[in-house]
């Protein structure tokens, strides 16, 4: 399964990085190029999520769960892959639901920031995957310099887990509140 996973991950990586480029083009360009980029964007995002989900599933079959969940680099790769998939699924859903409205007001700049975070996430995921198959890059040193020893598992303490969950719930609540006020 390892070889299939390596082949398959190229698709979501290319599609998601391409999507980030399209978001950038749309944010900085309201002309024909920007609109063309926006029309292509959902295709890139949705295909990226589909291929990403397939690659993720195949990736789970590369090693036994016991090995994957006991190996720091395996854990890290799965963590960033999970977050990347969830993150770009969010972007895909948002683009499909919101359409052109994404590019007005504050949302426009939020999308730009989100695409940057997405590129970083996918980049880290790919880097860790490369390490797992013996292809080392300097990106690992950059992450170390930023404070993450990539040969150690990325996990947060219970307080941070609770904070992240609370923040998620609060943000969802803010969104629901905004929706109700709109309906009213």
Q: Which residues bind other proteins (CB under 8 A)?
A: 63-64, 66-72, 74-75, 78-79, 82-83, 86-87, 90, 93-94, 97-98, 101-102, 104-107, 110, 113, 117, 134, 146-149, 151-161, 163-165, 167-172, 174-179, 181-183
**CA–CA distance, 110 with 106 (Å, rounded to integer):** 6
Give the nearer residue to other proteins in terms of CB position, either 32 or 138.
138
Give the nearer residue to other proteins in terms of CB position, either 47 or 77.
77
Give the nearer residue to other proteins in terms of CB position, either 31 or 157.
157
Q: Are 44 and 103 in contact (CB under 8 A)?
A: no
What is the residue whose two structure tokens read 């969104």? 175
Q: What is the smallest separation between the CB atom of 72 and other proteins, expressed in angstroms?
A: 5
Q: Are 58 and 5 in contact (CB under 8 A)?
A: yes
Give the nearer residue to other proteins in terms of CB position, either 126 or 140.
140
**CA–CA distance, 51 with 66 (Å, rounded to integer):** 25
Q: What is the smallest separation between the CB atom of 181 and other proteins, expressed in angstroms?
A: 6
Q: What is the smallest separation between the CB atom of 32 and other proteins, expressed in angstroms?
A: 23
Q: What is the smallest separation between the CB atom of 172 and other proteins, expressed in angstroms?
A: 4
Give the nearer residue to other proteins in terms of CB position, either 32 or 157.
157
Q: Which residues contact 125 (CB under 8 A, 6 or more apart)?
A: 77, 80, 81, 84
3 state SS for 93-146: HHHHHHHHHHHCCHHHHHHHHHHHHHHHHHHHHHHHHHHHCCCCCCHHHHHHHH
Q: What is the smallest separation between the CB atom of 97 and other proteins, expressed in angstroms?
A: 6
Please state, as a whole number, how many other Cβ atoms lie within 10 Å of the Cβ of residue 55: 23
């Amino acid at each position: 399964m390892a070889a299939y996973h390596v082949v398959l991950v190229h698709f979501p990586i290319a599609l998601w990085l391409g999507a980030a480029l399209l978001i950038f083009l749309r944010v900085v360009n309201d002309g024909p190029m920007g609109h063309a980029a926006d029309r292509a964007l959902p295709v890139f995002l949705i295909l990226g999520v589909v291929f990403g989900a397939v690659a993720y599933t195949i990736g789970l079959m590369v090693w036994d769960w016991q090995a994957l969940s006991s190996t720091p680099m395996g854990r890290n790769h799965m963590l960033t892959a999970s977050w990347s998939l969830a993150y770009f699924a969010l972007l895909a859903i948002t683009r499909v639901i919101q359409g052109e409205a994404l590019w007005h007001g504050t949302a426009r700049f939020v999308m730009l920031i989100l695409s940057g975070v997405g590129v970083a996430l996918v980049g880290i995921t790919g880097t860790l995957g490369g390490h797992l198959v013996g292809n080392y890059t300097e990106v690992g040193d950059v992450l170390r310099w930023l404070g993450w020893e990539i040969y150690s598992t990325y996990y947060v303490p219970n307080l941070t887990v609770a904070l992240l969950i609370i923040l998620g719930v609060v943000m969802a609540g803010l969104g629901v509140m905004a929706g109700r006020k709109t309906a009213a």
